[in-house]
Amino acid sequence: MPEPTVFKPAVTRPLPQGAELFEQDGRVYARWIDSQGQTQRAPTTVVDKGPHAGETRLLIESDRYALRYEDEAGVVRTVNTDLRSEEEARRLLGELLEQVREVKAARAAAGKLVGKHQALRDHFRRYVAYLKSHDTPAARVADVERQVRRIARQCDFVRLTDIRGQAVQQWLVDRANDGMPAAARNAHLDDLMGFVEWCLRERMLPSNPLTGVKRETDAVQAAPAVRPLSEEELHRLLRIALGRPLAEYGRAVSVQPQAGSDAPATRFTPLTIQTLDQLAALGEQQFKNDPKQLDRLYRQGWQRALIYKTLALLGLRRSELVSLKTGMLQVKGWTPLLILGAGSNKEEIPLREDLAADLKLWLQRRWRAGRRAARGRESRAALRKAFVTKPLFKLPAGLAKLLAIDLQAAGIPETDPSGTRIDVHAARQVRQALLSRQGMPLVEIWAPLRERPARSRPTRPPGQHR
């Protein structure tokens, strides 16, 4: 068995600017002049793996200590620490060796729980592998890693036995004082509870240390209230969305001096619902010799207006809008439909006549553009097979910001005096408002929105892991 030891590991650093390499006694060294004008030298190495693979870097001694010891399974482990004091590093090594002896004694005596004294990060690495093996989405795994590691770091949890409900409860209180929303605190707690429950199933813990810690079900902060657009506001928003990409190029620029500064202030002609047509005509004049750019701006405004209209009249969530494919639309026949899902989850949403006509024209334009791009290289059947799997819309980056700018240009306040606001999700509520004005019962209103009324939505029991 190797002797437990405390040491400063060798680490690499980039070569200082102006450093020159030279060889001495069969090794390559770097020589440079530091900021104090002193000549310095250090050995170098060529990194063979990692992000700096192939680079020549300085090889120096770390200013932090590392520990090397044999754990209860007979595996030689090297643990890097943030300790700069050799005395503190040796104290930590002694604690680890004592834990190893305890685990070995427990195994030999009664075959009781093992692993609880190992480093928490080792167990957590296995837990992450477990989540990935059960097809947990990568984004969800990343959230779990970030949130559990944050609690462990800020509560100084190094081993499983360090996890204590009192420390976690105090962490929740501290985060509340820092302004962290209750929903975020609950999310952190849920992820830590999921990890602890996994440790219990794997017989790494004798009991649940988080038994007394409660989710803040009564303190969950309400989301900002949103309001649906009125029909008149929706009409104005669609006009702005359709014409703004072109009208932006018709806005005149004026440079005016500003008080208290030598730099002049740049002013643009205001873009409003009243000036939209005039500015769009000026923008069109700028591209009269560039039909491709003009067509691109037309399509950009057309698509954005269609996105808003589809969200509003079909009551779609943003995630559902992103998932729409051209093959989900059936715009021919007596009843145009949008088909969501498949099999037992298949839903058919009727399209309003004007929206069906707009989407049919959009599909025809996309189909003709695809055929021109193919230039006869593919058969019509192959083109159609590929076409039905294409996204219906190419959602622009920052849709929420674009909506805010369009609302401002349309003269629609994003937040009204009562505090209710309009966002991408609020557009979905336009359909709910329209159906409500027609006297439709609440349950029937929520059915096309793929939701249940708020009173009948199930809530997760406190403490249940997501």
Task: Tell me the per-residue pLDDT of 255-276, one tens digit each, with 9 for 90 and over.
Answer: 566 666 665 566 778 888 898 8
Which pLDDT score, from 0 to 100, does residue 460 have? Answer: 38
Are the C-beta atoms of residues 301 and 285 closer than 8 Å to each other? no
**DSSP structure class, residue 380:** H
| Model pLDDT for residues 16-42, shown as the tens digit of each residue | 888 888 888 888 888 888 878 888 888
Q: Where are the domains of the chain?
A: 5-109, 120-201, 325-392
Residues 203 and 205: their CA atoms lie apart, in Å, by 6
Whether pLDDT at 387 is above 50 = yes
Its CATH architecture, for the domain 120-201, is: Orthogonal Bundle (1.10)
Are the C-beta atoms of residues 14 and 57 closer than 8 Å to each other? yes
- How confident is the model over 298-316, as a mean pLDDT? 87
Which pLDDT score, from 0 to 100, does residue 398 have? Answer: 79
| Model pLDDT for residues 235-252, shown as the tens digit of each residue | 899 999 999 998 888 887
Q: In sequence order, which ranges of 155-229 are alpha helices (DSSP H)?
A: 165-177, 182-201
Q: 424-437 and 291-314 helices cross at what angle (nearest 10)? A: 50
| Model pLDDT for residues 163-222, shown as the tens digit of each residue | 888 889 989 988 888 888 888 899 999 999 999 998 888 878 878 888 888 887 644 445
Which pLDDT score, from 0 to 100, does residue 427 have? Answer: 63
Whether pLDDT at 227 is above 50 = yes
Residues 216 and 463: their CA atoms lie apart, in Å, by 9
Whether pLDDT at 391 is above 80 = yes
- Mean of the per-residue pLDDT values of the chain: 79
- How confident is the model over 108-117, as a mean pLDDT? 48
Task: Of 393, 453, 447, 399, give the one whose Cα is nearest residue 426.
Answer: 399
Which pLDDT score, from 0 to 100, does residue 224 have? Answer: 58
Which pLDDT score, from 0 to 100, does residue 107 have? Answer: 57
Dihedral sign for Cα atoms in the order 148, 153, 154, 159:
positive
| Model pLDDT for residues 322-339, shown as the tens digit of each residue | 888 888 888 776 678 788
Which residue, chain included where needed, has tokens 């990568």?
Answer: 138
Which pLDDT score, from 0 to 100, does residue 192 have? Answer: 92
Are the C-beta atoms of residues 151 and 196 closer than 8 Å to each other? no
Give the confidence band of 458 by pLDDT, cuts at 50, 70, 90: very low
- How confident is the model over 363-378, as a mean pLDDT? 82
